[in-house]
Structure 1
Amino acid sequence: MNYVPAIGSKKSPVAIIGEGPGGEENRQKLPFVGPAGQLLKSCVKAEHLEWDAFYRSNFLHERPPDNNIKPWFSEGLKAEFLAQQEKGNQVLQIAAGWDKKKYRYFWLTDRGMAAKTALIVELAQTDAKVIVALGGTATFALTGMAPITKIRGAPARCPELPGRVILPTIHPAACLRTDEDGNAGKYLWRFDIQRDLAKAVRFSRGFEWPNPKLIVEPTYTQTMEYISDAHKYPLVSFDIELVDNSIPCISLAFRPNEAISIPFMQTYGKVREREVWKKLKELFEN
């Protein structure tokens, strides 16, 4: 396998970090020249940004055999997770959906930790204020967070790179994959990538970390008062979660740095929950 170096100025305010070289990158010894790289380049152009204005590199500088990243970064069973945790490697355990008794396990192996260390050293030598992490591997290495589909577009921190903003986004290769029926259902993810790239450039010109107030376990009284207050505002944002044809929660926000998540899992009892639904009905009909 050939070594594929980074490309672009180290003085660039925004860096893009992928997972590793593919076949075409290995042949040309250049990053982001294969199909995924071409799609990424088209996303940059779609936002009227300059491709060469970005510092571009990868978590790995050599192509993983058979494009298999598992020897460096993996998700799987608890036993392997515990083994990596005992070694002191970077690991993450998160709830699988709404079932708090089921978990997903992520980890970096010894080789993954070595690659992370090298990446941190590389990025520390750049002036990048914002680092766009493409896909789950680069994102987990830099932030310790997963999965990528849940955290993309949200600014994060890297403890080893203080003062920098990590902005996770979907890896462009995911947009090129097809499902079992041959349908390219993930094509629309490219528009998420475009928005995230534009956001990264915007953040590089000035960024302040938000300090939101998130009300995640409100009392019945808090919930009713919050819905009443929402009537006073001309614009209310809401997000309805749907799991197995039921609604476990609805989130509301009418201030930039404040939101509430209203649970519908028999938290308040059937009678009070019915009153909450009536209150929400009045709000949504307004």
Structure 2
Amino acid sequence: MSAAVERRLAELAEEIRGHRGCGFEPCETCLHPVPGEGSASAEIAFVGEAPGAREDREGRPFVGPAGQLLDRLLQSISLAREDVFVTNVLKARPPGNRDPRPGEVFHSWPWLKEQVELVRPRLVVPLGRYALECFLPGARVSVEHGRAIRQAGWTYVPLYHPAAALRMYPLTETMLADFARLPEHLAAAPEPPAELIVEPLVA
């Protein structure tokens, strides 16, 4: 991993932290924007929906109950948080944890796209339907979860969002089974191209 890539990731994080004045509600009302974090040379990148209340307070992704479950799922395949890259579609918490709006997703897409292109993980793991819609429009988590899907040279493995498993306990077993397949998918995944050719939801 070149120093230039690490430097650009750090610059991008600072840009996100300092972002205000766009008029989009999450960016204007959040306490702390949450850029994402992890290894700049990660082979797996996890992309969630948006920061929650605790993430908003701390400025870090997946530090609440869903993040604790994510850590346990990573441990189940002998990985730690520092081995992967973790970010969200939206970089700021929507008020009241409401769902992201299409315009907000479209506004946030350039940051997410650049993060993924900089890290160039062999597996991109969208967590939940909003992240999945960004990378594979029209796909459904309930149908595609745990499968490796290749598009334009990139490999995606959609998974349920850990927050969904906290609400519906049986999904925890599903997520454990899906996580157990990640090493196999990783071994079969080619190195991705430099450019991420996919468009998010249109505003």
| Length-normalised TM-score, structure 1 | 0.52
CA contact (8 A) 1:156 1:166 kept: yes
1:126 counterpart = 2:131? no
The equivalent of 2:24 in structure 1 is: none
The one-letter amino acid paired with 2:164 is A
Deviation of residue 201 (structure 1)?
3.0
1:194-213 map, 5 Å: 194-207=176-189
**Counterpart position of 1:53:** 83
Q: Does 1:6 align with 2:44?
A: no
Shift of 1:70: 4.2
- 1:53-202 alignment, distance < 5 Å: 53-71=83-101, 109-158=102-151, 162-177=152-167, 186-202=168-184
* Counterpart secondary structure, 1:21: coil
Same amino acid, percent of matched pairs? 29
Higher strand share: 1
Determine if contact 2:145/2:158 at 8 Å carries over to the other structure. Answer: yes
Asked whether the equivalents of residues 143 and 156 of structure 1 are also in contact (C-alpha less than 8 Å), the reply is: no
Greater C-alpha radius of gyration: 1
Aligned residue in 1 for 2:57: 27
List gaps (5 residues or longer) in structure 2: 1-29, 191-203
TM-score (ref. length: structure 2): 0.72
Distance 1:197 1:33, change over 3 A: same
Task: Give the counterpart letter for 1:48 in structure 2.
Answer: S
| Structure 1 range deviating more: 119-128 or 27-36 | 119-128
Instruction: Work out the CA distance in 2 between the residues paired with 1:132 and 1:115.
Output: 18
**1:194 CA drift (Å):** 2.3
Structure 1 segments (4+ residues) deviating >3 Å: none
Deviations 1:165-207 (A, max 9, x none): 1110000101122xxxxxxxx2121222223233233322233
Which structure: greater helix fraction? 2
Q: What RMSD in Å do the two structures reach over aligned CA positions?
A: 1.8
Q: How many pairs were matched up?
A: 160
Pick 1 or 2: higher relative contact order, CA cutoff 8 A, min separation 6.
2
